[in-house]
Amino acid sequence: MVGLPPDRARARRILLAVITLLAAFYGGYELGRTSAGYSIIHAAFERLERRREVDRLATENAGLQRRVDAATVEQQIDARLQSEAQRMIGELEAETARQQQELEFYRGLVSRQFGAGTLRVQDLKIRHQQDRRYRVEITLVQAGTRDATAGGVLSIAVSGERGGALIQVPMAELDGNHRRELPFSLRYFQQLELPIELPEGFVPASLLVEYRQGRNLEPVRQSFTWRVEDEPPVPAL
């Protein structure tokens, strides 16, 4: 075998010596780091864990951002709902004020017609039901400017003719439950309905309404001609 020229052999020996020296130096460096608690594998695992932590934080950040966006939308919706509620409240307040003005106007009309603090029968209707059965509808009205509640009792009686004699039939004989009076309680007006049944052979002519506020006040009486709705009036006796 032909040997290498002296110069090339020398260069090769120097190169091998340098490589050996570098390998020894790096091995010593790694040995020192390992002795100090550092290793390439451990570092690789740490980098992997840090990457996972970064990914987790990125996911959490995205979730938080979605929650912030949802909260922003919800806040905008709440603001619109609050604005709509305030608008509706304003409209209701305006409507209430308008109705209060109308109420004061009508109460003033009633007061001028009947006098302040007056309780009276404003309307009375008699409706035929079947055979001798009727329904009496009585509307009570309290005139005045104060918001006072009027309470008391009311009764009726029907006058007419039976067997050629004039008689008056009290409420207890007209009402199916034999009630003698009806209670009422009103601030402005109230409609009372009373089903009655006339005696056999009785021809009614008028209806008397008697009402009283409290127990110690004198009763007030109002008389009405017996006239059934949608029927011609009965001739007076």
pLDDT of residue 119: 85
CA quadruple 46, 50, 51, 53: dihedral sign: positive
Distance between first and last Cα of the chain = 166
Which homologous superfamily does the CATH classification assign to the domain defined by 119-225? Immunoglobulins (2.60.40.10)
pLDDT of residue 37: 55
162, pLDDT greater than 90 = yes
Mean pLDDT score of the chain = 83
* 116: number of Cβ within 10 Å: 14
| 3-state SS record for the chain | CCCCCHHHHHHHHHHHHHHHHHHHHHHHHHHHHHHCCCCHHHHHHHHHHHHHHHHHHHHHHHHHHHHHHHHHHHHHHHHHHHHHHHHHHHHHHHHHHHHHHHHHHHHHHHHHHHCCCCEEEEEEEEEEEECCEEEEEEEEEECCCCCCCEEEEEEEEEEEEECCEEEEEEHHHHECCCCCCEEEEECCEEEEEEEEECCCCCEEEEEEEEEEECCCCCCEEEEEECCECCCCCCCCC
61, pLDDT greater than 70 = yes
217, pLDDT greater than 90 = no
pLDDT band at 20 (very low <50, low <70, confident <90, very high): confident
The average pLDDT across 77-106 equals: 83
pLDDT of residue 128: 96
pLDDT of residue 236: 47
237, pLDDT greater than 50 = no
53, pLDDT greater than 50 = yes
Q: Which of 17-21, 102-106, 138-142 has the highest mean pLDDT?
A: 138-142
pLDDT of residue 187: 84
225, pLDDT greater than 90 = yes
Task: Write out pLDDT tens, residues 124-146.
Answer: 999 999 999 999 999 999 876 55
109, pLDDT greater than 80 = no
Ordered by start, the domain boundaries in the chain are 119-225
